[in-house]
């Protein structure tokens, strides 16, 4: 039944709390261990991660350890891909939890659909159970929260999408190249764009899902989203392709500019302020209506509103910062 070899690439840095569970997750899969290899690429961990991985590598022949001197994700992924011997490659996160049939279903579907990349949707959770963390989860999984990416909102049938996290056909990297190592963020989205541009197919599978543990407080959420947002304009600048990302990635910046520019223009005429005010009010009404719609006893409308604005503004300000960084590069 099983004949295809799978290479699991796991990038890590100071993951002593999670790395054992990540390794066991792969070992507990409903897929033969002799057809599975685990390539752990470490970015110079200073905790016990390397010690733990080394001990497992001595015990299990299918575990291999590599060093990532540049400490960024796309470099780690490329190290794993170049050294992989499998027919298919799966990029896994130490912070996510996968079901035992994850490999089996993805292997079946990538063959059945003649796809280059297949994956499931993520079920967002947090390690704490508070009104703040529950609000964050609800907003992340809402279409108005993070732009409606189906890998976050979920699906009911197999669909062709622009990006997903999951299993790659190894041969696709020979066709479109490896991850762009200049992209600290968005490297997965940019690669997916190259795959579809080359005629490749990407599918999301409803029978496959994994748990993603999100930030459980507004501060950490803001920092992470700010960094993601900053790499939106930088991704376009580095790749020289506006289509390297999807339209949804630019909406927070557009909203922010629709408020900031009219306010600045008020030095010319106070009437410009009306445009900014209208934009802010329309956004607030959408946030309020959506918050009331998705609210339940686990959180509150107030916490949901704060979560929406944390995500939208952090991403928008991050993108604005990215624009300014591009401007600095021209000087």
Q: CATH number of the domain that 168 lies in?
A: 3.90.550.10
For the beta carbon of residue 156, count every other beta carbon within 10 angstroms. 6
In a domain, 190, yes or no: yes
Residues 121 and 261 in one domain: no
In a domain, 275, yes or no: yes
The torsion region of residue 189 among left (phi > 0), alpha (psi -120 to 50) and beta comes to: alpha
Domain interval for residue 256: 230-330
Residues 212 and 294 in one domain: no
Residues 202 and 278 in one domain: no
* Cα separation, 8 vs 38, whole angstroms: 5
In a domain, 223, yes or no: no
Residues 206 and 239 in one domain: no
Residues of the chain with pLDDT under 50: none
Q: How do residues 106-126 score in pLDDT, each as one tens digit?
A: 999 999 999 999 998 888 888
Residues 196 and 257 in one domain: no
Residues 165 and 301 in one domain: no
- Those residues with Cβ within 8 angstroms of residue 220's Cβ, 6 or more apart along the chain or in another chain: none
DSSP 196-241: HHTT--EEEEEEEEEEEE---SHHHHHHHHHHHHHHHHHHHHHHT-
* Cα separation, 7 vs 86, whole angstroms: 5
Tell me, what's the pLDDT at 215? 86
In a domain, 289, yes or no: yes
Could you give the residue ranges of the DSSP H alpha helices within 41-149? 49-59, 73-83, 102-112, 131-140, 143-146
Tell me, what's the pLDDT at 122? 81
Residues 213 and 235 in one domain: no
Tell me, what's the pLDDT at 46? 93
In a domain, 224, yes or no: no
Tell me, what's the pLDDT at 151? 66
Residues 209 and 234 in one domain: no
Residues 172 and 213 in one domain: yes
CA separation (Å) from 215 to 136, 294, 310, 321? Answer: 8, 19, 12, 22
Beta bridge partners of 117: 168, 202
CA separation (Å) from 254 to 65, 229, 251? Answer: 43, 12, 5
In a domain, 49, yes or no: yes
Tell me, what's the pLDDT at 330? 58
Residues 296 and 187 in one domain: no
Q: Write down the mean pLDDT value for the chain.
A: 90
Tell me, what's the pLDDT at 7? 97
For the beta carbon of residue 254, count every other beta carbon within 10 angstroms. 12
In a domain, 25, yes or no: yes
Tell me, what's the pLDDT at 154? 65
Residues 24 and 152 in one domain: yes
In a domain, 99, yes or no: yes
**Rounded to two decimals, what is the model's pTM?**
0.80
Structural domain total, the chain: 2
Which of the listed residues 193, 217, 241 is the one where a domain comes to its end? Answer: 217
Cβ-based burial of 260 (10 A; exposed 0-12, middle 13-18, buried ≥19): middle
Which of the listed residues 217, 245, 263 is the one where a domain comes to its end? Answer: 217
Residue pointed to by tokens 């501060």:
219
Phi/psi at 148 (nearest 5 deg)?
A: 80, 20
Which of the listed residues 217, 248, 266 is the one where a domain comes to its end? Answer: 217
Cβ-based burial of 25 (10 A; exposed 0-12, middle 13-18, buried ≥19): buried
Residues 198 and 282 in one domain: no
């Amino acid at each position: 039944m099983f004949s295809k070899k799978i290479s699991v690439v796991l990038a890590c840095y100071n993951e002593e709390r999670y790395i054992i569970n990540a390794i066991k997750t792969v070992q507990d899969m409903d897929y033969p261990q002799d057809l599975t290899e685990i390539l752990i690429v470490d970015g110079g961990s200073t905790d016990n991660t390397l010690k733990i991985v080394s001990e497992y590598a001595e015990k299990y022949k299918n575990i291999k350890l590599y060093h990532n001197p540049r400490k960024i994700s796309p470099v780690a992924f490329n190290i794993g891909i170049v050294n992989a011997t499998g027919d298919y490659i799966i990029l896994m996160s130490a912070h996510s939890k996968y079901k035992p049939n994850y490999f089996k279903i993805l292997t079946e579907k990538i063959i059945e659909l003649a796809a280059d990349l297949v994956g499931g949707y993520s079920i967002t959770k947090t390690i704490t159970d508070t009104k703040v963390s529950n609000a964050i989860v609800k907003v992340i999984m809402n279409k108005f929260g993070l732009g409606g990416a189906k890998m976050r909102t979920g699906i009911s049938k197999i669909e062709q999408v622009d990006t997903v996290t999951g299993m790659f056909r190894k041969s696709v990297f020979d066709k479109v190249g490896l991850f762009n190592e200049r992209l600290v963020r968005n490297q997965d989205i940019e690669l997916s764009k190259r795959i579809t541009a080359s005629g490749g197919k990407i599918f999301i599978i409803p029978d496959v899902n994994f748990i993603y543990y999100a930030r459980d407080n507004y501060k950490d959420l803001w920092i992470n989203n700010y960094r993601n947002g900053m790499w939106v304009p930088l991704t376009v600048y580095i790749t020289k392709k506006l289509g390297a990302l999807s339209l949804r990635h630019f909406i927070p910046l557009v909203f922010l500019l629709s408020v900031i520019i009219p306010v600045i223009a008020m030095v010319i005429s106070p009437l410009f302020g009306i445009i900014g005010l209208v934009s802010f009010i329309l956004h607030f009404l959408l946030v309020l209506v959506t918050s009331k719609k998705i609210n339940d006893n686990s959180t509150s409308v107030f916490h949901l509103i704060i979560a929406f604005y944390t995500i939208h503004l952090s991403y928008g300000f991050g993108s604005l910062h990215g624009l300014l960084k591009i401007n600095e590069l021209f000087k």
